[in-house]
């Protein structure tokens, strides 16, 4: 299995073919969808010999072409196994750290977990795009949607909106709909806050609240947050384990967003939070009134002496500049949250070259039913 969710095949010439919808060990019929000199892509049209890991997708929209969840044909147990193997392979091949302990993700439910839905519309009902395509597959239900959002999707009228973002606080009951380019003509069952992208661009603010680890967090319409509070709970627990044993002193929450880790793990420490999103930084100032919140790119941060660093970078990872900035803090413990195995491998190699040992990595099944990978890693200087 390749990172991204396709299974790997080879033509007699040796060219790699990434086959969407296939699993290791299967015999399938497939049609080529993209050809390049070094590799090709294909899509399964028939399964001739199925893997024991294959299941019937539980969501009916998969058969209609919905590309929202790319691994509903894979059993949940196999998903966790494939993800563990992909992380171990990336740490060995890219990170130069063979034999690293990779802890599998604890089981997670496929149904009703997502508290943010991003949909698009071509003039009919909103929906999700086809896998590797632009065509919209309209939906009036979604297996992974939290019940608070499933109701909006089922009976809501989104007016003239072509882009729809639905968010909820699963533990507070708050709901928010962001419609673009405007909210004109929309009618949604309340209570729900409805706001247009044009209103946000004009400076209006809208937010919901969510609770994680006993902390109430403000989440603005344009601020990132994890897919579910249950997933956030697991992340917080693993990050707490990853920084265990760190000496007293400053905690740097790099790419800190609205303050999830600082709020839940920094109660007994001074905190500096680094974030380049103005919306998330504004939320962090509300959620962390005693912390120093810096609106800055981590790579440009002039390091202060710290005891411990928590870093949750975007998909591209820390990179050389981010690693250099955080290492300059002289922290002895660093917890890294990665959402791509390749970037984890690159960052692990960079940190190890700067004198950090990678002690373990642990998966979080933040997006069951998809090939998305989330990993927490413990580095000690």
CA distance 259 to 279: 12
Q: What's the average model confidence in pLDDT over 99-118? A: 95
Q: For position 147, what pLDDT does the model report?
A: 97
Residue of 125 and 188 predicted with greater confidence: 188
Domain boundaries, the chain: 7-54, 77-109+220-380, 116-211
Percent of the chain with pLDDT over 70: 100
pLDDT band of residue 131 (cuts 50, 70, 90) is confident
pLDDT in tens, 307-365: 999 999 999 999 999 999 999 999 999 999 999 999 999 999 999 999 999 999 999 99
Q: Which fold has domain 7-54?
A: OB fold (Dihydrolipoamide Acetyltransferase, E2P) (2.40.50)
The percentage of the chain sitting over the pLDDT mark of 90, rounded to a whole number, equals 95
- C-beta neighbour count of 187 within 10 angstroms: 12
Mean pLDDT score of the chain, rounded to an integer?
Answer: 96
Residue-wise pLDDT for 25-36, tens only, equals 999 999 999 999
For 96-105, the pLDDT digits (tens) are 999 999 999 9
Q: What is the pLDDT of residues 52-86, one digit of tens each?
A: 999 999 999 999 999 999 999 999 999 999 999 99
pLDDT confidence of residue 178:
98
Q: What is the pLDDT of residue 366?
A: 95
Distance CA 252, CA 360 (A): 21
pLDDT digits (tens, 9 = 90+) for 268-299: 999 999 999 999 999 999 999 999 999 999 99
- pLDDT attached to residue 125: 86
Would you say residue 124 has pLDDT above 80?
A: no
HEC string for the chain? CCCCCCEEEECCCCCEEEEECCCCCCEEEEEEEEECCCEEEEEEEEEEECCCCECCCCCHHHCCCECCCCCCCECHHHHHHHHHHHHHHHHHHCCCCCCCCEECCCCCCCCCCECEEEEECCCCCCEEEECCCCCEEECCCCCCECHHHHHHHHHCEECCCCEEEEEECCCCCCEEEEEECCCCCEECCCCCEEEEHHHHHCCCCCEEEEEECCEEEEEECCCCCCCCHHHHHHHHHHHHHHCCCCCCCCEEEECCCCCHHHHHHCCCCCEEEEECCHHHHHHHHHHCCCCEEEECCHHHCCCCCCCEEEECCCCCCCHHHHHHHHHCCCCCEEEEEECCHHHHHHHHHHHHHCCCEEEEEEEECCCCCCCCCEEEEEEEC
pLDDT at 51 over 80: yes
**Active site members:** 339
What is the band of 367 on the pLDDT scale with cuts at 50, 70, 90?
A: very high
Q: How many CA atoms lie within 13 A of 3 on its CB side?
A: 17
Dihedral angle sign, alpha carbons of residues 78, 80, 83, 84: negative
Class of domain 77-109+220-380: alpha beta
User: Which pLDDT band holds residue 132 (cuts at 50, 70, 90)?
Assistant: confident
pLDDT of 245 > 80? The answer is yes
Question: Each residue of 296-319: pLDDT tens digit?
Answer: 999 999 999 999 999 999 999 999
Asked which of 96-100, 119-123, 151-155, 339-343 is least confident by mean pLDDT, the reply is: 119-123
Average pLDDT of 136-162? Answer: 95
- Confidence (pLDDT) at 190: 86
Q: Mean pLDDT, to the nearest integer, of 232-257?
A: 98
The answer to whether the CB of 149 falls within 8 A of the CB of 208 is no
pLDDT bucket at 137, cuts 50 / 70 / 90 = very high
Dump pLDDT digits (tens) for 162-220. 999 999 999 999 999 999 999 999 999 989 999 999 999 999 999 999 999 999 999 99
Q: Specify the pLDDT at position 143.
A: 97
Q: What is the pLDDT of residue 231?
A: 96
């Amino acid at each position: 299995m390749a990172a991204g969710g396709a299974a790997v095949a080879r033509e007699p010439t040796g060219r790699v073919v990434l086959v969407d919808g296939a699993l290791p060990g299967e015999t399938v019929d497939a049609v080529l969808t993209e050809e390049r000199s070094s590799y090709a892509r294909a899509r399964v049209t028939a399964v001739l010999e199925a893997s024991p890991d294959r299941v019937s997708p539980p969501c009916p929209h998969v058969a209609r072409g919905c590309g929202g969840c790319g691994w509903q044909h894979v059993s949940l147990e196999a998903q966790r196994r494939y993800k563990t193997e992909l992380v171990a392979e990336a740490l060995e091949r890219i990170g130069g750290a063979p034999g690293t302990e990779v802890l599998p993700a604890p089981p997670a439910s496929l149904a009703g977990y997502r508290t943010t839905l991003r949909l698009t519309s071509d003039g009919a009902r909103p929906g999700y795009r086809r896998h590797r395509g632009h065509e919209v597959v309209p939906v009036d239900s979604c297996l992974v949607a939290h019940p608070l959002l499933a109701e909006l999707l089922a009976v809501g009228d989104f007016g003239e909106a072509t882009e729809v973002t639905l968010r909820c606080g699963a533990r507070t009951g708050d709901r928010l709909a962001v419609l673009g380019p405007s909210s004109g003509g929309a009618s949604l069952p309340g209570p729900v806050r409805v706001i247009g992208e044009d209103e946000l661009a004009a400076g209006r603010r809208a937010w919901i609240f969510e609770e994680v680890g006993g902390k109430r967090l403000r989440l603005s319409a344009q601020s990132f947050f994890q897919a579910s509070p249950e997933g956030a709970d697991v992340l917080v627990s693993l990050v707490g384990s990853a920084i265990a044993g760190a000496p007293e002193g400053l905690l740097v929450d790099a790419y800190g967003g609205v303050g999830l880790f600082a709020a839940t793990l920094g109660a007994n420490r001074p905190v500096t939070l680094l974030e380049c999103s103005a919306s998330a930084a504004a939320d962090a100032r509300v959620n962390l009134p005693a912390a120093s919140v810096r609106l800055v790119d981590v790579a440009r941060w002039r390091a202060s002496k710290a005891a411990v660093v928590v870093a949750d970078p975007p998909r591209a990872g820390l990179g050389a500049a981010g690693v250099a900035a955080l290492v300059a803090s002289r922290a002895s413990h660093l917890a890294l949250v990665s959402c791509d195995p390749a970037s984890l491998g690159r960052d692990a190699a960079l940190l190890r070259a700067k004198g950090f040992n990678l002690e373990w990595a642990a998966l979080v099944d933040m997006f069951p039913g998809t090939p998305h990978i989330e990993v927490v890693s413990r580095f000690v200087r």
